[in-house]
């Protein structure tokens, strides 16, 4: 990962301000609004109305949101340990083959995560945005590499 020490610090500092449950739900709301074709991939809530899932704080929907943000947390925790990050993310990518999630879907989540962070943090500087874009590109690529 080609992140500088300063970029890693920016990522850690910004991530510490993220509420995993709240922002995870916002992330999925944004993702599934932009890509409704992904909804059937989620067996436990895929047949339900998105607005209802959000409004009722559906347990399975919230669990998925929290799990996704926990995976990002693992990546953030391993910013200085590329080998361990690769191990964790390769395994994550491999598991996602079973869900029908491949490179296109991993690529699609990147701008949605940036948008969610931007909204949740009340805006992001160009420097912070660039740091997250670099990190997410690497994170998603490691997940895709785990599928090979």
**What CATH code is carried by the domain that includes residue 80?**
1.10.490.10
Question: What's the whole-number mean pLDDT along residues 17-31?
Answer: 96
Q: Above 80 in pLDDT, residue 43?
A: yes
DSSP-assigned letter for residue 122 = T
How many domains are contained in the chain? 1
Confidence label for 134 from pLDDT (cuts 50, 70 and 90): very high
- Rounded to whole angstroms, what are the CA distances from 99 to 57, 66, 92? 23, 17, 11
- Rounded to whole angstroms, what are the CA distances from 41 to 45, 111, 131, 145? 9, 20, 30, 21
Residues 81 and 74 sit within 8 Å (Cβ to Cβ): no
- How confident is the model at residue 1, as a pLDDT? 60
- How confident is the model at residue 2, as a pLDDT? 85
Q: Percentage of the chain surpassing pLDDT 90?
A: 92
Structural domain boundaries enclosing 28: 5-145
**pTM of the predicted model, to two decimals?**
0.92
- How confident is the model at residue 100, as a pLDDT? 86
Report how far residue 52's alpha carbon sits from residue 55's, in angstroms, rounded to the nearest whole number. Answer: 5
């Amino acid at each position: 990962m080609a992140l500088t020490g300063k970029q890693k610090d920016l990522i850690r500092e910004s991530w510490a301000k993220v509420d995993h449950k709240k922002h995870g739900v916002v992330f999925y709301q944004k993702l599934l609004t932009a890509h409704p074709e992904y909804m059937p991939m989620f067996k436990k809530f895929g047949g339900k109305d998105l607005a209802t899932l959000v409004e009722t704080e559906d347990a399975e929907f919230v669990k998925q949101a929290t799990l996704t943000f926990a995976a990002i947390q693992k990546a953030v925790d391993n910013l200085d340990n590329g080998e361990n990050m690769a191990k964790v993310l390769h395994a994550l990518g491999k598991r996602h083959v079973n869900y029908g999630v491949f490179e296109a879907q991993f690529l699609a989540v990147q701008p949605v995560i940036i948008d969610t962070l931007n909204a949740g943090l009340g805006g992001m500087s160009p420097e912070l945005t660039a740091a997250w874009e670099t990190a997410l590109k690497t994170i998603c690529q490691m997940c895709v590499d785990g599928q090979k």
